[in-house]
Structure 1
Amino acid sequence: MTSLPLVFDAPKRALPPRHLADLDAAGRRAAVAELGLPAYRADQLARHYFGRLTADVDTMTDLPAAARGELAALLPPLVTPVLEQSCDGGATRKTLWRAHDGTRAESVLMGYPDRATVCVSSQAGCGMACPFCATGQGGLQRNLSTAEIVEQVRQAAAAARDGALGEPARLSNVVFMGMGEPLANYPRVIAAVRRITEAVPDGLGISARGVTVSTVGLVPAIDRLADEGLPVTLAVSLHTPDDELRDTLVPVNNRWKVDEVLAAARRYAQATGRRVSIEYALIRDVNDQPWRADLLGTVLRREIGARLVHVNLIPLNPTPGSRWDASPRRVQDEFVRRVQAAGVACTVRDTRGREIAAACGQLAATGA
């Protein structure tokens, strides 16, 4: 399989200390053995971390007191909340995290009547340079480690369980749609997905069908993901069906054109049996014209197949000082109607958190 292009490598910055969530079962046992402890202590530690959602060794009373101190080395603090905001009656909670080296990333925990979802970051910043995205305009600082990603999910799961959204809830969905391009941090994101979806004590036990991995269209990585045996949903941030505009809105389109991206999405859907989500941020007078809606429906039906694709229309959450703005409601409704008329499913994403800068990268950009 073709390796990812070096142009998407993150700056060479030190990753955080080794953490339990960085390791698979064999790696955890080996790490515990390095501490001079029996291998079964690794499973005990993992049951606390993944099953009880705690990283506080002092609460792990089934472990000998002396061993707790040594095992704490496998649970170093990785991401610390520096700012938390809520809105939507407490159903949306955004957290700004600070890592060991001062880099910052964001996650958003959202409660719905039938589920609880966390949107997580895979990188600190982003190197894809999409002009309408706050994160893209800030540039890429570094990749997040596997454990830094998993920690966002574990802490969200613990918060939901403890009633942070109002009533106690079980975290059921994880979307990689926060800061960063997930497939540009491929090995760590895939390892994180395995930690998230494997059963306790090897992982958090969240169904793979509740996990969505987004991409702006890194074709070799999409094909690689199709071979992983992970039935996660692929979300392609398309934003326009024509190459002329997409070259500007999504600069990676200069490397892989729309037809190449959609062909990879079709291969993914065929390999996994999972319907692909097409993300489309609707921007006033930029990509919201009726003819683009018609073209989008036609291209998706032809290149992927109506049964294997769904359009997720996103009302743009404008960033402060940006020239980009959301389309009027009547334009949005007409866009949906035209895509649906082409035989392709199209819905509008529920907008959350406008008053707390919940578009990815907005909170970090405030310098809080």
Structure 2
Amino acid sequence: MSIEKHAESFAAPAVDAQGRRDLIGLSRAELEALMGDVGEPKFRARQLWHWLYHRGERDFAKMSNLSKDFRVRLDEKFFVGRPDIAVSLASKDGTHKWLLEFNDHQKAETVHIPEEDRGTLCVSSQVGCTLTCKFCHTGTQRLVRNLTANEIVGQVMMARDHLGEWPSPPDGRMLSNIVMMGMGEPLYNFDQVAKALKIVMDGEGIAISKRRITLSTAGVVPMIERCGAELGVNLAISLHAVNDELRNEIVPINKKYPIKELMAALENYPGLSNARRITFEYVMLKGVNDSPADARALVKLISKVPAKVNLIPFNPWPGAPFERSTPAAIRDFSDIVFDAGYSSPVRTPRGEDIMAACGQLKSDSVKQRRSDKDRANPAAGEAA
């Protein structure tokens, strides 16, 4: 599917049963225009922005610096939404995964990973995925549609609600970092992802710095420069192979944008420097891409780009065609990359017991809908 076709795949705007419009996901300019439409001055948008994104307030009646009449009119025309939580799962290691349901009943997953010095939220950009990477569980779910800015920002707002981080704290946050590494390919939904991240980065609201946001792509080459120029966030590349033959097989987008084109785009990524390096993600697949020769080829491949490498032990899922590399193979691979001068940490799998680890996310919307039908009609479920 082309970038243009992806851009057409969205849900309808968020409107509730009363016909009220959701304010979450609107840009500052859109919020100002909306205030003009209801006969209010532009500064009302800034006041609302503070309540929505700094304080996380959902009840207009509690927005105390707005007139009572204005609060009543807001409640008549608008609401402050969140995605519904269909399933909430907590891992024994502290990781939390939510299956979120949107207005059209489609679902996507969001994961919070707490660590000693940070808390990272893994955010989805699509329902399903079109890339069909062979090692990724999400890739087994067909693309349903893109998520809107409303739905992307809503994931962050929901997590903040859960963590009790309103008003937005300046330091010591449990949600300090964002990775666009959930379901979907962010660069196939760039306009909505960019709109959402600009809201998240705004200093008068959620205020998460671009240096704490990482966007991961499998290599949508035409969009890489635009991502750097418009957002300036950290870039991660799902590489996973060092030659076109293997990458064509396990990361099929490589057939469209082969490694040579990808590396050329990365060399020109705006703002790239030794202080701001590109992260290469490399899932370790037993007997497939984990040999010392692969490690040496990886070092050569990334030699022209300020880089670091994240080695990801394969996280199994039902029916997966791969196995995780042995600890010895991962250690030897890491040593070769490290000795060549590149940081090469091995990512510790998190949330494996709730299928929340890297490559395990899948909303399973179709199965959920079937289960709903079975509950409504037990006889049919038993027959199946």
Fold agreement, TM-score > 0.5 = yes
Instruction: Tell me what 1:318 maps to.
Output: 316
1:1-368 equivalences under 5 Å are 5-6=3-4, 8-9=6-7, 11=9, 13-17=11-15, 19-72=22-75, 73-89=77-93, 91-161=94-164, 169-200=173-204, 203-228=205-230, 230-268=231-269, 270-271=271-272, 274-301=276-303, 303-304=304-305, 308-359=306-357, 362-365=361-364, 367-368=367-368
Deviation, 1:150, is: 0.8
Q: Deviations over 1:177-219 (max 9, x none)?
A: 000100000111111111111111xx41111100001100011
Q: Unpaired runs of 5+ in structure 2? A: 16-20, 167-171, 369-384
User: SS in structure 1 opposite 2:324?
Assistant: coil
Letter in 2 for 1:96: L
Q: Deviations over 1:31-85 (max 9, x none)?
A: 1222233433322221111111222324323334443343244435351111111
Structure 1 CA distance for aligned equivalents of residues 335 and 8 of structure 2: 41
TM superposition score normalised by structure 1: 0.89
Letter in 2 for 1:232: V
Structure 2 CA distance for aligned equivalents of residues 325 and 40 of structure 1: 57
User: SS in structure 2 opposite 1:6?
Assistant: helix
274-283 or 154-163, larger mean C-alpha shift: 154-163
Q: 1:110 to 1:189 in 2, by over 3 A?
A: same
Letter in 2 for 1:6: E
User: SS in structure 1 opposite 2:348?
Assistant: coil
Deviation, 1:162, is: 5.0
Deviation, 1:141, is: 0.7
State which structure, 1 or 2, has the greater radius of gyration over its C-alpha atoms: 2
> Given that residues 199 and 206 in structure 2 are in contact (C-alpha distance below 8 angstroms), is that contact kept between their aligned partners in structure 1?
yes
Q: Deviations over 1:201-251 (max 9, x none)?
A: xx41111100001100011100111221x3310000001111100001111
Q: Unpaired runs of 5+ in structure 1? A: none
60-69 or 120-129, larger mean C-alpha shift: 60-69
Letter in 2 for 1:261: L
Structure 1 CA distance for aligned equivalents of residues 255 and 135 of structure 2: 17
Aligned CA RMSD, in angstroms, stands at: 2.3
Letter in 2 for 1:157: R
Structure 2 CA distance for aligned equivalents of residues 252 and 131 of structure 1: 11
Structure 1 CA distance for aligned equivalents of residues 45 and 270 of structure 2: 37
> Given that residues 133 and 250 in structure 2 are in contact (C-alpha distance below 8 angstroms), is that contact kept between their aligned partners in structure 1?
yes
Structure 2 CA distance for aligned equivalents of residues 8 and 116 of structure 1: 31
Instruction: Tell me what 2:378 maps to.
Output: none
Identity in percent: 36
> Given that residues 138 and 362 in structure 2 are in contact (C-alpha distance below 8 angstroms), is that contact kept between their aligned partners in structure 1?
no
Deviation, 1:278, is: 0.4
Letter in 2 for 1:23: L
Q: 1:252 to 1:7 in 2, by over 3 A?
A: farther
> Given that residues 243 and 258 in structure 1 are in contact (C-alpha distance below 8 angstroms), is that contact kept between their aligned partners in structure 2?
yes
Structure 1 CA distance for aligned equivalents of residues 247 and 99 of structure 2: 30
Structure 1 CA distance for aligned equivalents of residues 70 and 115 of structure 2: 41
Deviation, 1:7, is: 5.4
168-177 or 191-200, larger mean C-alpha shift: 168-177
Letter in 2 for 1:190: A
Structure 2 CA distance for aligned equivalents of residues 62 and 12 of structure 1: 35
How many residues are aligned here?
353
Structure 2 CA distance for aligned equivalents of residues 69 and 327 of structure 1: 60
> Given that residues 313 and 349 in structure 2 are in contact (C-alpha distance below 8 angstroms), is that contact kept between their aligned partners in structure 1?
yes
353-362 or 275-284, larger mean C-alpha shift: 353-362
